[in-house]
Amino acid sequence: MNFFHRHRGLTPYLLLAPGVAWLAVFFLVPLGFLAYQSLQSGNIDFGYAFTWAWGNYWHAIRDYRTQFVRSLEYAGIATLLALLISYPVAYWIAFRGGRWKNLLLLFIVAPFFVTYLIRTLAWETILSDNGFVVNTLQSLHVLGPSGRLLATSTAVVTGITYNFLPFMALPLYVSLEQIDERMLEAAEDLYASKLHAFLRVTLPLSLPGVVAGTLLTFIPAAGDFINAQLLGSPDNHMIGNVIQSKFLELTDYPAAASMSFILMTGILVAVAVYARIVGTEQLTGTAA
């Protein structure tokens, strides 16, 4: 009899132990340290001491409310844009892709094969002051002669939308692809027009993909600081930029730690509200 046979009940724990221990020590414990740090006061020269300094949280909200709101705003707009842009394409691949489905999906994730920072720099090139986008918009008088796209909120939202688009498109595709086309045939047999079949059958059935895609896009987008740094001006800085500079440039650790927690809470609240809304919509969708 070998060891595994004698201790069958132990096997799962032995398999789990190393990975779970790694996550506990380098994910959970650090979150604890972050919480501990967020309630400290002092400065880098004289050291920090734990003083239940809840003031850090109030100061963070008082001084950086604009950046917090802006983060949720940019992330929200980018998520909505990503949804609107990629839904038709996900639909097209799922129902009309045929034997090319896998290849088309490969195109969808292609941006991920280029280093994140490099593809953001490519947007810097595209939106630059002498680039063809700005020139075209200027000749169409959408932009004034000295108008620019770089260093505006438009550029930042464009960058975020592009960078996280595959996170939206993939779950949408998965949920649309799973729809049994016989359901649509049944709807049409029951005299639903194609439009009604879409609104009453396809759309509600794709909602799980919409929810998953929204969360996968919104969460990283709200914490992002790369797009705001490379494509925006200080007026477009998000809370990620503030956390980053407080941690790595100003070494104001307690402030930065408390902001990280506020960001996490903000995201959780936004997600909860969203789940609430979608939940009821989904209910009315099935009830209709």
Partner 1 sequence: MSSIAVPRQRERNVLAAAFGFVRYHVLTVYSLLFFAYLLLPIAIVVVFSFNHPVGKFNFTWQGFTWDNWRYWDGIPGIRGAIILSLEIALIASVIATALGTAIALALVRYGFRGRATTNILIFLPLSTPEIVLGASLLTLFLNLNVVFGFWTILIAHIMFCISFAVVTVKARLVGFDRHLEEAAMDLGANEWTTFRKVTLPLTAPAILAALLLCFAISIDDFVVTYFNSGSSVTFPLFVWGAARIGAPPQVNVIGTAIFVVALTAMLANVVFQRRREVRA
Site for partner 1 in 68-127 (CB under 8 A): 85-86, 88-89, 91-93, 96, 99, 102-103, 106-119, 121-126
Burial (CB < 10 A; 0-12, 13-18, 19+), residue 228, is buried
Q: Does 200 bind partner 1 (CB under 8 A)?
A: no
Residues 263-282 as x/- pattern, contact with partner 1 by CB under 8 A: xx--x---------------
Q: Does 29 bind partner 1 (CB under 8 A)?
A: yes
Specify whether the CB–CB gap between 111 and 165 falls below 8 A. yes
Q: Which residue has the tokens 């789940």?
A: 275
Q: Does 46 bind partner 1 (CB under 8 A)?
A: no
From candidates 49, 140, 190, 248, binder to partner 1 by CB under 8 A: 248
CA distance 25 to 37: 17
Shortest Å, Cβ 65 to partner 1 = 18
Q: Does 230 bind partner 1 (CB under 8 A)?
A: yes
For every residue of 22-70, DSSP letters joined together read HHIIIIIHHHHHHHHHHTEEEETTTEEEE---THHHHHHHHHHHHHHHH
Q: Does 11 bind partner 1 (CB under 8 A)?
A: yes
CA distance 215 to 218: 5
Shortest Å, Cβ 58 to partner 1 = 20
Q: Does 41 bind partner 1 (CB under 8 A)?
A: no
Q: Does 179 bind partner 1 (CB under 8 A)?
A: no
Residue 259 per-residue DSSP state: H
